[in-house]
Amino acid sequence: MAKSVSTIQVLLVVCLTASGYRRAGMALTKGENHIPLAELSDEQVAAFKADKRLTVSVIDMAPAAGSVELSNGDPSLGADLTGTLTGTKDANGTEKSLDQLTAKELKELAKDMEITGVNSMNKTDLVSAIQAVTVTLPGANETASPSADTPSTATNAAGE
């Protein structure tokens, strides 16, 4: 039995300038940036639409491939979790928010996430660019390392 897939409204912002370009309090990557409309104020949407260096449209988007939307948000059912990175955890279990990382650590993380233009970004731009990337954590029934038939789960909105 096929189950209907719910969609969310997303502001599709195509940035024609270099990664790290800022508008409405956000750093954008070159190419497509998908921003949930519910997370933006009317003023931010207006700022994006007024900028001639950006192409802006509202689209309906289904959940990421391989992810399952859970009404109660319970990750214990083995579903993939999709969202944005807010921090790191080292081998000792010490957690740090992105703001607590050094610019050097942020650049290394951004390069690992295949974000382009990191060498010209300051700390604030690096944090915004990292937060703009959608990441997927595998569910309980899967492994975290991608296999040959599994695409990388950390890509920017342009698929880079």
Q: What is the pLDDT of residues 18-66, one digit of tens each?
A: 888 999 888 888 888 888 888 889 999 999 999 999 999 988 876 544 3
Report, in angstroms and rounded to the nearest whole number, the Rg of the chain calculated over CA atoms. 17
DSSP letter at 30 equals: S
Give the residue, 12 or 70, on which the prediction is more confident: 12
**CB–CB of 150/133 below 8 Å?**
no
- Asked whether residue 8 carries a pLDDT value surpassing 70, the answer given is yes
- Give dist(CA 125, CA 106) in Å, integer: 10
> pTM of the full predicted structure?
0.41
Model pLDDT, residue 128: 86
**CB–CB of 24/40 below 8 Å?**
yes
Q: What is the pLDDT of residues 116-153, one digit of tens each?
A: 888 888 988 888 888 888 777 655 444 443 333 333 33
Model pLDDT, residue 134: 78
